[in-house]
């Protein structure tokens, strides 16, 4: 069936390279004449060479003395400006796992070394070069997916955001522990993140926006996700990142029919660059016991930034209805973002900082993981405060002269998103606590902005999954006023109307959904069901057949086709499809029921015949 939730996502990015602190001389004394061998190599090896090595994400290698010497002053300047190593959060406010950060002492050492002519010291005494495994660093993947060749990043122009779609061909459901992303050309790919596409949204997007190579462009991509399994993991790549492996109890489900969308941010290098990423997927044979979710806050509704505004602020405060543990955070804004902060105020009045980025740079956005999960009791208020600079003093302003900017998906629009990976805690009463959080957040957003498309849609999907189709309809109708041509909304609205028994309206909406996107399999399926319930068996059978042609493994479609054919008294064909349904899924109740009825019918007919 087709109930779906949209989880609005921005491009995600990865955690930082492994941290290390140069022990160096160990003494508090500052080296008056630092050398590569005694002082500088240790700093570079601990903080820089995960990217700055041959084949690495950095454009230059800093492994040998000669390499470092050729860039000595540059190293001094970029570290003094805190441009390198790239790490946006202020480590004095919030410490994250794997953070890279040079101390003031280390920066002064690098500066002095360059000033004094970059002395080698005794190179035979230099520390050993850290070795990094080549190929798949996590070991042999269970599944390797490679994008088709043919996408070429142009030689010049501004940053490019492109999406590759990977179809997962697996038998049965698996649980994923890790995804190792090889972006194809780490020197031009700035970051990459994976969105789990359980409803073939990306495939449809690719069809609507064909480019000259595989995939489609787009900075922020919306993905539908299964309402029963809200997205809960950040899957990403960032230069020099160690590959993240989920803890054993926190894997995520990968079922057949899921696609993975790799959203990549790239910067032109001066020459055309072919990009062909690949993914290594690692399974674990264990269902997760901890089910996180991504709590996605946003203040996009408040983004109306006048041209010239230097310090435009948006803020949001959300009171948690349940206790949660926070595992990771992903802040997101575009080119005008300046200072991004988030914190939690607990019921006892104490404050826990969640994020402090004083100088946002979208090129270096990342996922930041807390060293220990942060516990927030029920009643905690989570606050976000983001500021924006839409003046001509902001070199990254995509408009010259500055223009009024509002929220949107394009690079020239803005965003104010904060995503927290949380695991809710508390008495379950049988329900999924994540849905409690999701509902609370959706209602919070709607109280502020009744036209929030994502919130309306999510709430509708939630209510539908709870068996409240009439209420769901209300929210889907509201989503439709925001996006009147959306096949997704039309389909969900149609499904809700169907479940409410409003057959005619359901039919209209589903027909509109199919007209809006003729390849939308779920919409065809729902339409087929609506036609069957209206007694229009011939048309229904046609629609189910269409679905089966597109999804030959769909047991439900086969079963329902079978029952429709039976209703048309086409018993032999009916039986064939019902049996096929059982081959595909031996537990399919519709098929089992209908075959039983068919058998009864047949034996009665035989009795009559005698």
Partner 1 sequence: MGLALACFVANALCFCAWATASQQLPLDLAGRAVDPFAAGSKLTVLVFVRTDCPLSNRYAPEIQHLARRYASHGVNFWLVYPDNAETPAGIQEHLAAYGYTLPALRDAHHFLVRMAEATVTPEAAVFRGSKLLYHGRIDNRVQDFGQTRVVVTAHDLEDAIAAALDNKPIPPAVQAVGCYISDLR
10 Å Cβ neighbour count for 403? 14
Residue 599 engages partner 1 in binding (rule: CB under 8 A): no
Residue 83 engages partner 1 in binding (rule: CB under 8 A): yes
**Cα separation, 182 vs 175, whole angstroms:** 21
| Strand ranges (E), 485-600 | none
Pick between residue 361 and residue 599 the one whose CB is nearest to partner 1: 361
Encoded one letter per residue, x for contact with partner 1 by CB under 8 A and - for no contact, window 121-160 reads ----------------------------------xx-xx-
Task: Single out the residue of 3, 45, 282, 335 in contact with partner 1 (rule: CB under 8 A).
Answer: 335
Task: Single out the residue of 18, 19, 77, 323 in contact with partner 1 (rule: CB under 8 A).
Answer: 77
Q: What count of residues does the chain have?
A: 610
Stretch that binds partner 1, among 62-70, 97-105, 144-152, 415-423 (CB under 8 A): 62-70
Pick between residue 72 and residue 561 the one whose CB is nearest to partner 1: 72
Residue 410 engages partner 1 in binding (rule: CB under 8 A): no
Q: Is residue 452 within 8 Å of 424, Cβ to Cβ? A: no
Strand order, beta sheet including 312-319: 312-319, 381-388, 337-345, 351-357
Q: Is residue 378 within 8 Å of 426, Cβ to Cβ? A: yes
Pick between residue 36 and residue 318 the one whose CB is nearest to partner 1: 36
Task: Single out the residue of 81, 429, 608, 610 in contact with partner 1 (rule: CB under 8 A).
Answer: 81
Encoded one letter per residue, x for contact with partner 1 by CB under 8 A and - for no contact, window 363-382 reads x-------------------
- Note every long-range contact of 464-471, with CB atoms under 8 Å and residues 24 or more positions apart, other chains counting: 464/3, 464/227, 464/492, 464/495, 464/496, 464/499, 465/3, 465/227, 465/228, 465/435, 466/435, 469/496, 469/497, 469/498, 469/499, 469/500, 470/496, 470/500
Tokens matching residue 51: 């990217």
Residue 397 engages partner 1 in binding (rule: CB under 8 A): yes
Pick between residue 118 and residue 320 the one whose CB is nearest to partner 1: 118
Encoded one letter per residue, x for contact with partner 1 by CB under 8 A and - for no contact, window 42-61 reads -----------------xx-
Tokens matching residue 374: 């942060």
Angle at 329 between CA 323 and CA 334, to 5 degrees: 135
What's the closest the beta carbon of residue 274 comes to partner 1, in angstroms? Answer: 12
Residue whose pair of structure tokens reads 């597109």 in the numeric block: 550
What's the closest the beta carbon of residue 334 comes to partner 1, in angstroms? Answer: 10
Residue 119 engages partner 1 in binding (rule: CB under 8 A): no
Task: Single out the residue of 248, 304, 361, 553 in contact with partner 1 (rule: CB under 8 A).
Answer: 361
Strand, helix or coil for residue 173 = coil
Task: Single out the residue of 266, 328, 411, 561 in contact with partner 1 (rule: CB under 8 A).
Answer: 411
Query: How far apart, in Å, are the Cα atoms of 21 and each of 18, 30, 47, 365, 437?
Result: 10, 16, 8, 23, 39
Stretch that binds partner 1, among 78-86, 173-181, 212-220, 514-522 (CB under 8 A): 78-86
Residue 73 engages partner 1 in binding (rule: CB under 8 A): yes
> Which residues lie near partner 1 (CB under 8 A)?
59-60, 66, 69-74, 77-78, 81, 83-84, 86, 114, 118, 155-156, 158-159, 187, 267-271, 335, 361, 363, 395-400, 411
């Amino acid at each position: 069936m087709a109930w779906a939730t949209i989880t609005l996502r921005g491009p995600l990015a990865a955690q930082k390279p492994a941290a290390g602190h140069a022990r160096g001389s160990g003494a508090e004394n500052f080296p008056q004449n630092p050398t590569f061998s005694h002082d500088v190599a240790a700093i570079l090896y601990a903080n820089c060479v995960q990217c700055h090595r041959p084949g690495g994400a950095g454009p230059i290698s800093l492994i040998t003395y000669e390499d470092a010497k050729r860039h000595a002053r540059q190293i001094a300047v970029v570290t003094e400006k805190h441009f390198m190593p790239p790490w946006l959060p202020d480590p004095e406010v919030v410490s994250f796992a794997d953070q890279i950060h040079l101390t003031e002492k280390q920066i002064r050492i690098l500066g002095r070394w360059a000033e004094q002519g970059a002395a080698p010291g005794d190179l035979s005494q230099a520390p050993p070069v850290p070795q990094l495994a080549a190929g798949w660093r996590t070991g042999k993947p269970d599944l390797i997916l490679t994008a088709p060749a043919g996408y070429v990043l142009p030689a010049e122009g501004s940053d490019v955001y492109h999406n590759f779609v990977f179809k997962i061909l697996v038998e049965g459901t698996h649980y994923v522990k890790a995804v190792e992303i090889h972006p194809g050309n780490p020197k031009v790919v700035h970051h990459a993140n994976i969105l789990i596409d359980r409803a073939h949204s990306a495939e449809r997007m690719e069809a609507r926006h064909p480019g000259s190579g595989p995939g489609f462009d787009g900075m922020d991509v919306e993905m539908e996700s299964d309402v029963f399994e809200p997205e809960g993991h950040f899957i990403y790549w960032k230069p020099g990142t160690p590959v993240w492996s989920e803890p054993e109890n926190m894997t995520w489900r990968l079922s057949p029919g899921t696609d993975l969308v790799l959203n990549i941010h790239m910067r032109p290098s001066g020459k055309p660059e072919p990009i062909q990423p690949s993914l290594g997927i690692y399974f674990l044979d264990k269902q997760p016991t901890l089910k996180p979710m991504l709590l996605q806050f946003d203040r996009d509704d408040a983004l109306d930034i006048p041209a010239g505004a230097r310090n435009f602020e948006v803020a949001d405060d959300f009171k948690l209805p349940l206790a949660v543990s926070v595992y990771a955070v992903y802040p997101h804004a575009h080119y005008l973002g300046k200072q991004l902060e988030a914190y939690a105020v607990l019921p006892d009045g104490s404050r826990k900082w969640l994020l402090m980025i004083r100088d946002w740079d979208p090129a270096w956005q990342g996922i930041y993981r807390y060293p220990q999960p942060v516990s927030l009791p029920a009643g905690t208020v989570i606050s976000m405060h983001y500021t924006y600079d839409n003046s001509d003093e902001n070199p990254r302003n995509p408009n010259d002269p500055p223009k009024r900017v509002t929220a949107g998906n394009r690079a020239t629009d803005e965003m104010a998103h904060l995503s927290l990976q949380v695991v809710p805690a508390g008495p379950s009463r049988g329900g999924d606590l994540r849905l409690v959080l999701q509902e609370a957040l959706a209602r919070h957003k709607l109280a502020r902005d009744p036209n929030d498309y994502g919130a309306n849609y999510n709430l509708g999907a939630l209510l539908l999954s709870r068996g409240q189709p009439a209420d769901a309809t209300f929210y889907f109708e509201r989503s439709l006023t925001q996006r009147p041509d959306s096949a997704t909304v039309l389909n969900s609205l149609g499904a809700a109307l169907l479940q409410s028994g409003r057959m005619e309206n359901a039919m209209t909406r589903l027909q509109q959904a199919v007209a809006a996107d003729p390849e939308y399999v779920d919409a065809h399926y729902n339409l087929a069901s609506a036609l069957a319930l209206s007694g229009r068996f011939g048309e229904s059978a046609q629609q189910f057949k269409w679905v089966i042609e597109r999804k030959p493994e769909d047991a439900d479609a086969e079963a329902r086709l079978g029952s429709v054919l039976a209703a048309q008294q086409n018993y032999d064909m009916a039986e064939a499809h019902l049996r096929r349904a059982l081959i595909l899924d031996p537990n399919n109740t519709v098929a089992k029921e209908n075959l039983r009825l068919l058998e009864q019918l047949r034996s009665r007919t035989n009795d009559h015949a005698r």
